[in-house]
A and B are shown apart, each in its own frame.
Chain A
Amino acid sequence: MAFRPTDIELIREVLQDSDARAFETLMKRYTSVVYGAALRLMKDEENAQEVTQMAFIQAYRQLDSWRGENFGAWVTIIANHIALRLLEKEKRRQTDPLDDNIDAPEDTYDELKEQRLQSLEAAVAQLPEADQQIIQWHYYDNIPLQTIAQRVGQTENNIKVRMYRIRERLKKQMQS
């Protein structure tokens, strides 16, 4: 099993060795969660991205003051504060009669879709590593099944059958 450093170990590396890669590893663990939380409040993808970026940058700059256990929860709290501040600002701006003509951002948030996306991510994470790799290649990198078959050293039909089993497993996990 691969060694997975804890949040505290990674933060120590960032603070002591100024290691940017350690922070990148740490951030990749929680970006999706923080982005989901920001999206829930902002209801707009572009603003949620901005809030997530601001939250991680702020967390990086205040890293030496962090005394918690869960880095993700801390950044999520920072993101919530930033989002609420921005929403408050937006609300005040909208009550200003001079800005009446400016359109509010379109509401692109869907709670059900968000839940399903999170359950899909969780279901994929539970798959064996080799199956996760196939999902990554096919759905996220858009690699055709024929190329995947060559990479894995199996026939295309074998990969199709394997993909069918993976999909059935995912559906079952998501329904439960």
Chain B
Amino acid sequence: MTDQELDILFTESAKRKQSVEKINASVMHSVRKDLRLKIVRKWARLVGGCFGIPLAAVCYIWALWHVMAESPLQTPLRIVCIALPLIALAVLSVPGLRNYRLDM
């Protein structure tokens, strides 16, 4: 191998290094974006769990109270209103229907 060939090879190698750095920068840009989204999703889930679910429960009870106050005893609507939250709780306790990633 001559000196000139080695120089050409080094020039090619420098170009290759630039390409590789460009790839790395681009991939890391996407990775950081993914990570930011992951953090946002995690906090949104936490806030939803802390405030969203109790709020939904309060709204549901408030609506249920109105329905029950207006309807006579043992109507199908009243039975459905009581059964719905029980079904929701049962579904949450079935591992097959629950998202395992949330448990970790």
Residues of B in contact with A (beta carbons under 8 Å apart):
1, 3, 6, 9-10, 12-14, 16-17, 19-20, 22-24, 26-28, 30-32, 34-35, 38-39
Contact = CB atoms under 8 A, between A and B. Distances in A.
Given A28-B24, A57-B30, A49 B19 contact: yes
Contacts of B16: 32, 35, 117
A120 B14 CA distance: 11
A54 B34 CA distance: 14
A120 B11 CA distance: 11
Interface string A4-47: 00000000000000101001100110011001000000000100
Q: How would you classify the secondary structure of chain A's contact residues: helix, strand, loop or mixed? A: helix
A74 B97 CA distance: 32
Given A24-B24, A117-B13, A139-B10, A35 B31 contact: no
| Minimum-distance CB pairs A-B, first 3 | A56-B27, A139-B10, A31-B20
A32 B9 contact: no
B32 A20 contact: yes
A80 B61 CA distance: 57
Contacts of B13: 117, 120-121, 139-140
A45 B24 CA distance: 15
22 contacts: A18-B35, A20-B31, A23-B28, A24-B31, A27-B24, A27-B28, A28-B24, A35-B16, A35-B19, A35-B23, A49-B22, A56-B23, A56-B27, A57-B31, A60-B30, A60-B31, A117-B13, A120-B13, A121-B13, A167-B3, A170-B6, A175-B1
B3 A117 contact: no
Given A23-B31, A117-B16, 6 more contacts: A28-B24, A31-B24, A45-B19, A60-B31, A60-B34, A116-B9
Interface of A: 18, 20, 23-24, 27-28, 31-32, 35, 45, 49, 52-53, 56-57, 60-61, 113, 116-117, 120-121, 139-140, 167, 170-171, 174-175
A167 B54 CA distance: 72
A65 B16 CA distance: 31
Nearest to A46: B19
Given A32-B16, A167-B3, A170-B6, A27 B27 contact: yes
A120 B20 contact: no
